[in-house]
Structure 1
Amino acid sequence: MSPSASSLSFLRVDGRNIVDGNGNVVILKGCATGGHLNMENFITGYTGHEHELRGAMLKALGKEKYNYFFDKWTEYFFTSSDAKFLASLGLNCVRIPINYRHLMDDRNPSVIKESGFKLIDRVVDICAEEGIYTVLDLHAFPGGQNQGWHSDSGIHKALFWEFKDLQDRAIQLWIAIASRYADNPWIAGYNPMNEPGDPKHTDLIAFYERVEVEIRKVDPNHMLFLDANTYARDFSAFTSVLPNSVYAIHDYALLGFPMYEEYTGASAQNAALEKQYKGKIEFMVKHNVPIWNGEFGPVYASPNEENYEAINQCRFNLLGQQLKNYKGEQMSWSIWTYKDIGFQGMVYTDPESPYIRLLKPFLEKKKRMGLDKWGRDDQYCAQFYEPMMKHLEEEIPSEYHRIIYPHHWGMRTFVHRAMRECVVSEIMVHYYADYFKDKSFEELDELAASFKFENCLKRGPLNAILKADAEL
C-alpha cells in the first residue's frame, strides 16, 4: 500500500543527491510513457507529426468516431495494470511526455484546457496508487523547441526561439501546470523542456531562468529537471545552477541502432560509451548537482529480420553496460520507452492484434520508404536517395555541409528531415488514416484495445535487466 499524499514529503535536491523529507537518498529509476500524451510516429506506426495524424484521422473518421477512437486509445494505453507491472519491476518513477496541444489551443491560447489536465491527472493518480513518482515533461512546444519530429512542429526549424509570444505562451502553460500540482508530492518534479534545440544557446538559459522564477511563485516545492541544450547533450553555455534543480542528459548510444556497428563488448566500445556519458555530465560534477538520464536505450530487431535474436542480444548487452557505467554516479534514469508497436518498448503490441494486422501493409511500406528518423534502416531506399545526396555533396562546398544548427546533423540529415520526415510523411499519413475509414465503433474499440496491457507482449530480457538494476 502506498503512503497517502498527506504523509508523503516532497523530494528535493541536496548536493549531488535527490532526497526525501527525512534526508534519505532517492535514486529515481523508471521509464517514459512515450507516445501516450505526445504521440510519435515510430511508437504507434503513423508517419510525420501528431497534429498531422490527428487532422488526417478526423477527415477519415468524422468527429464522433475520431473522438471515440482517441478517447479509448488514450484510456487503454496506460491503465492501473501498466503501473502495477512497472512497480513489479521495482521501478519508482514514470516520466510523462506531454504535447502542449492537450492543454492549449493555438486558436485560443489564453484558455488552458481542463480536458488535458484530466489526462495527466489520471496517469499521476494511477502511478501514485502503486507508489510510483511521476515527472511532468513538456515534450512539444508552440512553434517547436527543437528541429525534430517529436516537437510536433511539422517543419525542421525551432520557431519557438524566434518569437517571444510563443515563449510567453509556454510560461503561461507552466504557471498553470505548477499551480495545478503544487501540493502533490507524488510528482517528483517538472521537466520544463524536452530536448531543447536553441541555436544561440543563450536563449535556453534565459528561458530556464524565467520559467524557474514563475514556477516558484506558485509552487516552491517541486524540483526542476533541466535538459541540456542540443537534445540534452550540451551544457557548454551553462555557467551556474538554479536552486532545487536536477540537470538532465539523454544518453543514446549509436551502437544500439541500425546502420551502425553492433556492440560486442570490445574495450574500445566500452571506453567510447564511458567517454560519451562522462563528457555530458561534466557540468553536474563540477557544480555538485544531481544527474538524471532522462532518455536512453537501444532499439530492437523484429522476428522477421535476419539474425534478430543475435542482434537483440548485442543490444541487451549494450544496455547492461550503460547501466553499469551509471552506477558509479548514483544516476537517476528514465529509459525510453515503455510501450510501442515493437520497436523499442518494454511492452509492445502483439503482431496478431487487430491494430497490427490492419496496418501491416502500411508499416511494411513505411519501412521500405525509410520515413521515420528513429532507428531508420535505409537498406530498401538508399538506391534512390544516395545519388541525390552525392550530387548535393559534390555541388555544395564541404564547409557548408554542417553550417545549419544542430551542426552534428549535417546536410544529409536536414535533407532527409525536410524531404522524407516532413513532405513525404505528411502525404503518407493520409494513407495511414484511410485504413480506419468505415470502421464501426466496435472495430475502433478493438483497434484501440490492441494497446491494453493485457493484450500486449513483454520484452522479457529488457525488463529483467531493468529489474535487476532497480533492485540494487
Structure 2
Amino acid sequence: MAPHEIPITESISFKSAGRKKIDSILRVHGTQIVDGRNDPVVLKGAGVGGHLNMENFITGFPGHEHEHRAAMLEALGQEKYDFFFDKFHDYFFTDSDAKFFAARGLNCLRIPFNYRHFEDDLNPGVYKESGFRMLDRIVNRCAAENLYTVLDLHAVPGGQNQDWHSDSGVHKAMFWQFKEFQDRMINLWIEIARRYRGNVYVAGYNPLNEPSDPDHTNLQAFYKRVEQAIRSVDPNHILFLDGNMYAMDFEHFKEILPNTVYAMHDYSTMGFPSGRQYDGSAAQNAHLKRSFERKVKFMRDHGVPIWNGEFGPVYASTSETDYAMTNQCRYNLLQKQLEVYRETDISWSIWTYKDIGMQGMVYVSPETPYMKLLAPFLAKKASLGVDFWGRDNKDVKHIYDPLFAHLDEVVPKHLQNKRFPSPLWELKRHAERVLREMLLSEYLGFEMAELFKEKTFDELEALAASFKLENCIQRKELNEILEQDSKLG
C-alpha cells in the first residue's frame, strides 16, 4: 500500500465538527452568504459526483450514463439490474460517508443529479417518487451530521453542454434548441422547490451545471424563468447560477437576480496529465490568480457572493512513473488555489468526494470485487483514451494524429473555429469527442456490461458494496489539506 493510502477503517475519527447547529435558511447579504443571525457562512465542501449523476471516469464505465444503463439492463435483465443499482445508490453515500465528510471539517455537500431519476422522456411531467427518495436520503444523511447540501441539476434532456456529463449522448447542446426541454426543467424545479422549501439544511439550488449556450442569450432567459418559477413556491432559498461556457464566462450576463450566488468553476490545466506541471513559480502563481480573477470579475463588479462549484487536480496512480512527485506538485497546486480563495472568503466545492482513483477524497480499493472485475477493462479503456477527463493519449497518438492532421489540412483555417464551443474546443477536440468519447465508448459499454452477465444476486451485492466507505481508501494528503483549510475559517 502506498504511503498516501490509508484504509478508511484505520483513519476515521467520527468527532463532532463543533459547528453551530444549522437552524435557519441561508440568504445573500451583499458579498456574503449569511444565516438567520446574519452571521457569515463560507461553504466549504465537495461534490458527490458519480452517484445520482454517474460519470465515466468516476465509476469506470465508458461514454454516457444512459447508454451504460441500457447495456447493463440488457446484460442483467430487469430484476438484477434494479437490484444492483439500488444497492449501488444506497452504498455510494451512507451515514458513514456523511460522518467522514463532517469529520474533515467540511460543511456542505453538492449533490449532482440526473433528470432521468425524476421523469422519463416518454412520460414527461410525471415525477418518479423513487428519484425523490434517493435525493431525500442523501440530504437527510447530511442533515444528521449538521451539513448543508446544494441541489445541483447536472444533466437535462438534450444536454445543456456538449460533454459526457450532461448525458445527452451527442456532441451538441440540444437543450437550447427546444423550448419543450426547457419547460420540463422549469417544471421539475418547481416540484423540487415545493418539496424542499423550508428545509434549513438545503443551502440552495444549482439549477444548471456548466451550461454552454451558443447564443448566450438563451441561458439568461432560462435563468430568469427558473428564478421566477422557483420563487413562486419557495421565495427563500438561494440560487447558485453557473456562468456560461462551462461556468467560466460571465461576459454576457446583464442583470443580478435577487438572493443569488454566482458560480464559477476553476480547474487548472496544471493539475492534469496534459498540462504543464505546477512548480510554484511566481509566473504560474500569477497565472492562477489572473485566471481566477477573470472568472469572478462579474461578481466583483456587482458586489455579489462567489461560489467555486468545481475545481481540483487529477492524481497519478501508483502504477505511473514518479507518481509521488507528480501528486505532490498537484497537492501544492491545490493549496495555492485554496490560498487564493481564502483571500476573499469565497465558498467552494471540490470535485469530487468518491471515485475509483482519479480525484476523490476517498476511492474504491483495488482489492474490492468491483475493481478486480473491471481491472483489465479499465486498463484497456485507459490505453484507448476514451475518457476525456484526466486521460493520457500516448498509446493511441499514432492512430489519431494522422486523422487530426488530415482534418486540419482539409478544413479551411478560418472555419476551424465555427463549431461551438470555440475557441474552448478546437477541431481536434471535436473529433475526439465524436470518435472516442461517443462512438468507440458506446461499443466499449457493451463489452463492460458483459462482465456483469450471469452474476448472481450475491455477487452483484458484493460488487455494489465495493463502493461502501469501509471498502474505500482515503487520499491522505488531499484530506489533510482540506482539513487544514477548514480550520482557517
TM-score bracket, shorter-length normalisation: over 0.9
Counterparts in 2 of 1:28-427, with a 5 A limit? 28-407=43-422, 408-427=424-443
Partner of 1:458: 474
Q: TM-score, structure 2 length as denominator?
A: 0.95
Structure 1 residues 395 and 7: CA distance shift in structure 2, 3 A = closer
The alignment partner of 1:112 has SS state of coil
**Which residue identity lines up with residue 390 of structure 2 in the other structure?**
G
**Which residue identity lines up with residue 204 of structure 2 in the other structure?**
G
Counterpart Cα distance in 2 of 1:109 and 1:194: 21
Kindly provide the CA deviation profile for residues 157-183 of structure 1, in whole angstroms up to 9, marking residues without a partner as x.
010000001110010100000001012
Report if the CA contact (8 A) 1:48-1:422 is conserved. yes
The Cα of 1:6 is off from its aligned counterpart by: 11
The alignment partner of 2:154 has SS state of strand
Counterpart Cα distance in 2 of 1:229 and 1:276: 16
Kindly provide the CA deviation profile for residues 300-323 of structure 1, in whole angstroms up to 9, marking residues without a partner as x.
010011110010000000000000
Kindly provide the CA deviation profile for residues 396-455 of structure 1, in whole angstroms up to 9, marking residues without a partner as x.
111122111110111111110011101110111010110001111001011111100011
The alignment partner of 1:285 has SS state of helix
The alignment partner of 2:61 has SS state of coil
The alignment partner of 1:31 has SS state of strand
Report if the CA contact (8 A) 2:143-2:201 is conserved. yes
**Which residue identity lines up with residue 87 of structure 2 in the other structure?**
K
Partner of 2:11: none
Counterpart Cα distance in 1 of 2:17 and 2:118: 29
The Cα of 1:239 is off from its aligned counterpart by: 1.5
The alignment partner of 2:426 has SS state of helix
Partner of 1:17: 32
Report if the CA contact (8 A) 1:240-1:287 is conserved. no
**Which residue identity lines up with residue 81 of structure 2 in the other structure?**
Y
Kindly provide the CA deviation profile for residues 236-295 of structure 1, in whole angstroms up to 9, marking residues without a partner as x.
000211000000000000000012211000111111110001000000011100000000
Report if the CA contact (8 A) 2:22-2:201 is conserved. no
The Cα of 1:7 is off from its aligned counterpart by: 7.5
Kindly provide the CA deviation profile for residues 349-379 of structure 1, in whole angstroms up to 9, marking residues without a partner as x.
0011111100111000000100001111101
Counterpart Cα distance in 2 of 1:200 and 1:17: 31
Report if the CA contact (8 A) 2:194-2:234 is conserved. yes
The alignment partner of 2:204 has SS state of strand
Report if the CA contact (8 A) 1:16-1:290 is conserved. yes
Partner of 2:487: 471
Correspondence for 1:431 among 447, 464, 482: 447
**Which residue identity lines up with residue 197 of structure 1 in the other structure?**
S
The alignment partner of 1:409 has SS state of coil
Partner of 2:10: none
Counterpart Cα distance in 2 of 1:116 and 1:460: 33
Report if the CA contact (8 A) 2:370-2:463 is conserved. yes
Given the alignment of the two structures, is residue 27 of structure 1 paired with residue 49 of structure 2, yes or no? Answer: no
Query: Quick check: 433-442 or 391-400, which moved more?
Result: 391-400
Structure 1 unaligned spans of 5+: none
Report if the CA contact (8 A) 2:17-2:102 is conserved. no
Structure 1 residues 71 and 167: CA distance shift in structure 2, 3 A = same
The alignment partner of 1:378 has SS state of coil
The Cα of 1:2 is off from its aligned counterpart by: 9.7
**Which residue identity lines up with residue 250 of structure 1 in the other structure?**
H
Structure 2 unaligned spans of 5+: 1-15
Point out 4+ residue stretches in structure 1 off by more than 4 angstroms: none
Aligned length: 471
Counterpart Cα distance in 1 of 2:261 and 2:321: 42
The Cα of 1:60 is off from its aligned counterpart by: 0.4
CA RMSD, Structure 1 to Structure 2 (Å):
1.3
The alignment partner of 2:394 has SS state of helix
Kindly provide the CA deviation profile for residues 175-221 of structure 1, in whole angstroms up to 9, marking residues without a partner as x.
00000101211000000000001000010000000000000000011
The alignment partner of 1:329 has SS state of coil
Structure 1 residues 2 and 380: CA distance shift in structure 2, 3 A = closer
Report if the CA contact (8 A) 1:2-1:128 is conserved. no
Report if the CA contact (8 A) 2:157-2:181 is conserved. yes
